[in-house]
Amino acid sequence: MFCQSPSLLTSGTITNLAFVDRCEIGPKSGIGHHFHYNSDEMFVIFDSEAQFTIDGRTSVLKGPAGAPLRATHSHAIYNPSDKPVQFMNINIRVGPPRPAEQGGRSMAGGARAGGPGQGPGRAGRGAMPFNFAADTGGYDMGDERVGVALDPVPVFMPMLLRRETLRPVNALHGGKGAIQYRRAVGSAIFNSNWAFVDHYLLPPGTSIGRHMHNGVEEFYYVMNGSGTVQVDNETAPIKDGDAVPVRVKQVHSIENTSSGDLELMVVGIALEKGKLDVVEVK
C-alpha cells in the first residue's frame, strides 16, 4: 500500500482511538489478510471500488463504502485496478495493548505489483508473530488476497454511505434548516466502545446546532464540500479531507457556509459501551 504521511488522527486524540489513517491504495496494492487481538477497525474507500475481505470471504464494494472489522476477525483489502483508491483506516482499542504487542506499526502482508512476498512489512515475519502492532497487536496471516474467488453478494455487513439512503432532519440540535442524515453503523456490532458511524449531508445555509456529549467523543470527517466548525470558543474553516476531533463536554456545531453540499462522516466512541447522550446548548 502506498501512503504518504497517512496519519490523520493519532493515538489519544480522542479516548480509545488508536489511529485514523488517510491515504491512497495504489494500483495492484492492498493490506494483506491479518487480524487484531484487541482492537476494532474499519476500512473505508471513498471512490472507485476495492476487494474487501472478512474472515476469508471477499466481495467488491463500490465507494463510498466500508466494512466493520471486529477484533479477532481477519480482514484485508485489495485494489485490483490500474488507478489509486482513496482509503481510510480507523482503529479503536477494545482494551489496553499487551506489553509484548506494543511497538512500531507496519503494513503487514501488503500486496504490491510484482508478486507474493514483496509487500511492505514482510521482512522478519517468521521471527516475530506480532508484526502488525497498530498499538494493539495483530497477526499477519501471510495471505495477500491476490486473485481470490469473489462472492457476488457480500456475506459480511458492508457500510454503505449512499446519499439516496439519507433522510431529512429539520433543525438538528437547534441548527438551521433541513439536513440529511442516516446512522450507517451502530454500536451492537463492535467489541469496543465504538458507538456509531453517522452520515450527514448539509445543503448550503444549513447547520448542525450547538450541542455536547457527556459520555461520547467523536471525530467529524469532511467527505465533500466546505464550511465552518465551532468547538467551544474556537471557529475554523473546514474542507475536503479535514478531520475534527471533539472530546467530552466540548460544545460543537457545524455550518455549511458554501454554495455546495457539505458531506460528513462522523465516528462516535462512548466512554462506556452502549451509553450515548446528547445535550443541546443554547
Q: Please state the pTM of the whole predicted model.
A: 0.86
Task: Judge contact between 67 and 156, C-beta under 8 A.
Answer: yes
By mean pLDDT, which of 15-19, 92-96, 107-111, 268-272 is the weakest? 107-111
Q: Which residues of 241-264 are buried (b: 16+ CB within 10 A; e: fewer)?
A: eebbbbbbeebbbbbbebeebbbb
Could you give the CA distance from residue 121 to residue 219 in angstroms, rounded to a whole number?
29
pLDDT band at 106; cut points 50, 70, 90: very low
| pLDDT tens digits, 173-195 | 999 999 999 999 999 999 999 99
Quickly list DSSP for 135-182: TT-EEEEEE--TT----SS-SS--EE--GGG-EEEESGGG-SSEEEEE
Helix, strand, coil distribution of the chain in percent, nearest 5:
5, 45, 50
Protein fold of 161-280: Jelly Rolls (2.60.120)
Beta-carbon contacts of 205 under 8 Å, excluding residues fewer than 6 positions away, are 176, 177, 256
Residue-wise pLDDT tens digits, 30-86? 999 998 888 999 999 999 999 999 999 999 999 999 999 999 999 999 999 999 999
Question: CATH for 7-159, among 1.10.40.30, 2.60.120.10, 3.40.390.10, 3.40.50.620?
Answer: 2.60.120.10
CA 202 – CA 238 distance, rounded (Å): 13
> What is the average pLDDT score of the chain?
86
Q: Do domains 7-159 and 161-280 have the same CATH topology?
A: yes
Angle at 43 between CA 129 and CA 114, to 5 degrees: 65
Q: Where are the domains of the chain?
A: 7-159, 161-280
Q: What is the per-residue DSSP string for 33-87? A: EEEESSEEEEEEE-SSEEEEEETTEEEEEESSEEEEE-TT--EEEEE-SSS-EEE
Task: Name which of 181, 189, 33, 12 is nearest 108 in CA terms.
Answer: 33
